[in-house]
Amino acid sequence: MADDGMLLNFSIPDAGILNKPKFKGGTWKDRLTAKKAAGHWHTKASGRLNGVEKPAAARTVSTNPNRTEIGERTKRISKSPDVDRNHGGPVKRPRISGDFKPAAKDDTANENFRPQSTTNVSKKPGESQTNSKGGKQIISSLFSYNPTSTTHAQTQDDDAIDEPVEPSNAPLTSELDTFTSLGLSASLAAHLLKKMDLKAPTAIQKAAISQLVKDDSDAFIQAETGSGKTLAYLLPIVQRLMEISANMKKRKVDEAVQRSSGLFAIILAPTRELSKQIALVLENILRCAHWLVAGTVIGGEKKKSEKARLRKGLNILVATPGRLVDHLGHTEALDVSNVRWLVLDEGDRLMELGFEDDIQKIVGNLNNRMRAKRDVGAPIPGLPEKRTTVLCSATMKMDVERLGQISLKDAVHIKPDQNDPEFIGTSVKEDQTFLAPAQLKQSYAVVAPKLRLVSLISFLKRTFARKGSVMKAIVFISCADSVDFHFDILTSDLEGSTENAKQPEGLTEAPAQSKPKDPKAVAQSDPTKLTVTHTVSPILTQKTHDVTAYRLHGSLAQSLRTSTLAHFTKNKEASVLIATDVASRGLDLPNVDLVVEFDPAFAREDHLHRIGRTARAGRDGRACIFLMPGCEEGYTDILKSDRKENEAGVHIGRQEAEEILKKGLITSGVTKDKYAYMDKATDLQLAVERWALASPARLESARRAYQSHVRAYATHVAAERGYFDIKQLHLGHLAKSFALRERPSGMKVPGLRTGAGRDSAKATAKGRGAAETEQVDPSEDAAKMRKAVRAREKFMRAAGMADEFNLG
């Protein structure tokens, strides 16, 4: 006989069943159903319990196989992978980087639902809202489980913020402070005024030129960024060579100093970009002394062409240490016996990059050849007997002092001091460093890891919203892979790439009722092709003007690095440079109004050099640094220490991620929906993720960028690792800012405990597909449930207990 509708109704004690009947036969679902029902009998029994008759509706047993009768309620056994079938509740969230997160409440039916918990996604072509098993798909929200800020914005007086500040690195305004008063010739001073538009020297130029023109002693020049240190040592060298040339004419020894006269000065710089810039400034100065010839040997080109340049003859050489050591050992045409001026620019950076041994070889070679020349023949008339070495550095750290011991003898310390007419000192007692320019307006943005990417795009969109408000901006990023990834995003049409994901790159068709796209635009943004370093950014371009994006890092070929800087410098339209620290030292890029430190610098000195690309030579400028909530917010103490005591905190403002998103994404004016920016930010994030999933090359670029960023994060100097603690970095949330749905597996992170945030191989494989949302395999969930049932049965048999039912 059929047992459908059979009702078991018998009385049991309040404490429940002590000797439970054993259940055999039937499917595992039947046994599990009976087991679950028996577990509730001591509180809610079916039929009559303690002599109380239940309503007939409560005793009706459904014929639906997915329903089971449990007392007076009818419980649904869900097939959804989001339900734990052992306990009837939601599945626990996976452990991510050591933290358990509670399950988000499903409020999608609420009309006031916002994407803090679960995001509703509009369907795109080829996408589905349900998986093949019928389960619900969940997208990780940008606005859920974000860490809260540990600090609060300080109220500041708006009048104090807007109060004009006297620039600390501007040219001097006194009528007596002219280049002629410093000892420069009238022709050179007139050239600076008429051709180079330099009316007066800066404080450091006044101190250094007056010292180096009159004295042959070694010197250490220390000044803040953007104060004109390059001219401070170039002008005295050019002036001395012009005097030697004039002296030779008077004595009728020769017509003048020319390229065949030999090499007189060498300038060493840590990077090729800085060497090129120094050579460009020197070329502009030498237009008033055309008989003097300058050149460079910096690597990045064939040594054959550099040797040919040296054979023709140079009077002033700008070089990088490694390439100069190579030529000193292998190029016979390079004669350094007459070198009387050696300049070590950015001395702290020279030591950081490991050029100490090369500099020792250079100094030793110069000393040996100068002695040999002195014993052979008569020197050039007017040429100094001893060599002058000039060391330029922003700090007096231990490594700089060691460099001074290698190259300097009885050096004087030159620093800007407008109140003291004497700038000469013999020693520095404490670790002195320069400060940020007084007219620089600084701010910091507190942004959660998941919001970093959309916040950066929003910040740049807001920056270039008005034509002419910001002409040029520089965004500093920690590593080359991350530069390529962000450059690729900014130079791609995200919506176009999503809608045409199945088409090959470069063949994307234009949307209906729109102008055809330039086919080169897509190829330019390919991260695997490093032949293009600048193009128009569709996502930043406004209706009134275009915005050009550039990229610069050390992995690019030297020809591309040089052309990128030249194009960015000459560009008179709005543009943004995405760069590593290769662009942070000494480069004088005109009209840079804004510096964004998307990734904080690895050391305080690097931070000061980065923000020094703006607010140069008395001009105004702005700088903003992105910090994550938590320990990174303590870095504001470093920002405040970079200001003078009387202005600390005056120009250091705070920005919240919500404000950045509102101002950058809500362009239609005032909106009634206060959560509209969340929808906009979510749409932007999904567009970026779809863009990355549309191409294996893009997805691989995102993974490389993420891994390189995490490894770079662990390399902050020891003194600042309290602010940038790799163990407190939420790797899962950070992956979201690289367009990744989950953290890549198998990555070795320095300082991270073993097993933290480990991803399953199956989940990683699913994340690489084109599915729009995260999924849980129902078969895997069922296997776990079967394993738990078997373990429970084994435990009960060992304890001498019977199953809930024993049906023969």
The answer to whether residue 325 sits within a structural domain is: yes
Q: Which residue in the block uniquely carries the two structure tokens 């609060």?
A: 152
Whether 580 and 663 map to the same domain: the answer is yes
Q: Are strands 592-597 and 621-627 parallel, antiparallel or unpaired?
A: parallel
Domain of residue 79: give its range.
Answer: 1-91+776-808
- Look at residue 141 in the predicted model and tell me its pLDDT: 82
The string of pLDDT tens digits covering residues 246-268 is 888 777 655 678 888 899 999 99
- Look at residue 353 in the predicted model and tell me its pLDDT: 84
Is the pLDDT score of 419 beyond 90?
no
Q: Are strands 67-70 and 73-76 parallel, antiparallel or unpaired?
A: antiparallel
Share of the chain above pLDDT 90, in %: 36
Number of domains in the chain: 3
- Look at residue 794 in the predicted model and tell me its pLDDT: 60
Q: What is the CATH number of the domain that holds 563?
A: 3.40.50.300
The answer to whether residue 746 sits within a structural domain is: no
- The span from the CA of 739 to the CA of 692, in Å, is 7
Band the pLDDT of 9: cuts 50, 70, 90.
Answer: low
The string of pLDDT tens digits covering residues 480-502 is 999 999 999 999 988 654 333 33
Is the pLDDT score of 650 beyond 60?
no
Is the alpha carbon torsion for 332, 334, 340, 343 positive or negative? negative
Report helix angle 186-194 to 229-250, nearest 10.
Answer: 140
- Look at residue 508 in the predicted model and tell me its pLDDT: 33
Judged by DSSP in three states, 474 sits in strand
The answer to whether residue 386 sits within a structural domain is: yes
Residue type, 725: D
Select the more confidently predicted residue: 516 or 726.
726
Is the pLDDT score of 420 beyond 90?
no
- Look at residue 711 in the predicted model and tell me its pLDDT: 93
Select the more confidently predicted residue: 439 or 280.
280
Output the 3-class SS for 77-104. Answer: CCCCCCECCCCCCECCCCCECCECCCCC
Whether 315 and 240 map to the same domain: the answer is yes
Is the pLDDT score of 82 beyond 70?
no
The string of pLDDT tens digits covering residues 533-589 is 889 999 999 888 999 999 999 888 888 888 999 999 999 999 999 999 988 877 778
- Look at residue 437 in the predicted model and tell me its pLDDT: 76
Is the pLDDT score of 394 beyond 50?
yes
Whether 329 and 379 map to the same domain: the answer is yes
Distances (CA, A) of 195 to 16, 66, 187, 199, 616: 100, 88, 11, 10, 20
End-of-domain residue from the set 698, 713, 728 = 713
In this prediction, residues 159-187 reach a mean pLDDT of: 68
Of 37-51, 604-618, 619-633, which range is least confident?
A: 37-51
Whether 786 and 651 map to the same domain: the answer is no
Output the 3-class SS for 228-246. Answer: CHHHHHHHHHHHHHHHHHH
Whether 635 and 671 map to the same domain: the answer is yes
The answer to whether residue 490 sits within a structural domain is: yes
What string of DSSP letters covers 295-323? EEE-SSS-HHHHHHHHHH--SEEEE-HHH
In total, the chain counts a number of residues equal to 808
- The span from the CA of 86 to the CA of 687, in Å, is 38
Under 8 Å between Cβ of 579 and 477:
yes
Is the pLDDT score of 58 beyond 90?
no
What string of DSSP letters covers 94-136? PPBTTB--PPPP--TTSTT--TTS-------TT--SB-TTSPB
- The span from the CA of 51 to the CA of 45, in Å, is 11
The answer to whether residue 41 sits within a structural domain is: yes
Band the pLDDT of 293: cuts 50, 70, 90.
Answer: very high
- Look at residue 208 in the predicted model and tell me its pLDDT: 93
End-of-domain residue from the set 690, 713, 736 = 713
In this prediction, residues 762-786 reach a mean pLDDT of: 45
Whether 704 and 585 map to the same domain: the answer is yes
The answer to whether residue 428 sits within a structural domain is: no
Select the more confidently predicted residue: 23 or 594.
594
Judged by DSSP in three states, 486 sits in helix
Q: Are strands 388-392 and 316-319 parallel, antiparallel or unpaired?
A: unpaired
Distances (CA, A) of 594 to 218, 611, 643, 663: 37, 9, 18, 17
End-of-domain residue from the set 713, 731, 746 = 713
* 720 HSE (CA, 13 A, CB side): 21
Under 8 Å between Cβ of 764 and 744:
yes
The string of pLDDT tens digits covering residues 113-140 is 444 433 344 444 334 334 434 444 456 7
Whether 673 and 799 map to the same domain: the answer is no
Whether 346 and 277 map to the same domain: the answer is yes
Is the pLDDT score of 172 beyond 60?
yes
pTM exceeds 0.85 for this model: no
Distances (CA, A) of 607 to 272, 279, 583, 638, 724: 20, 25, 12, 10, 14
The answer to whether residue 175 sits within a structural domain is: no
Whether 361 and 495 map to the same domain: the answer is no
- Look at residue 540 in the predicted model and tell me its pLDDT: 93
Whether 308 and 444 map to the same domain: the answer is no
The string of pLDDT tens digits covering residues 183-238 is 899 999 999 988 888 888 888 899 999 999 988 899 999 877 777 889 999 999 99
Whether 396 and 457 map to the same domain: the answer is no
- Look at residue 498 in the predicted model and tell me its pLDDT: 37
The answer to whether residue 448 sits within a structural domain is: yes
- Look at residue 673 in the predicted model and tell me its pLDDT: 77
Whether 232 and 363 map to the same domain: the answer is yes
- Look at residue 417 in the predicted model and tell me its pLDDT: 61
In this prediction, residues 627-638 reach a mean pLDDT of: 92
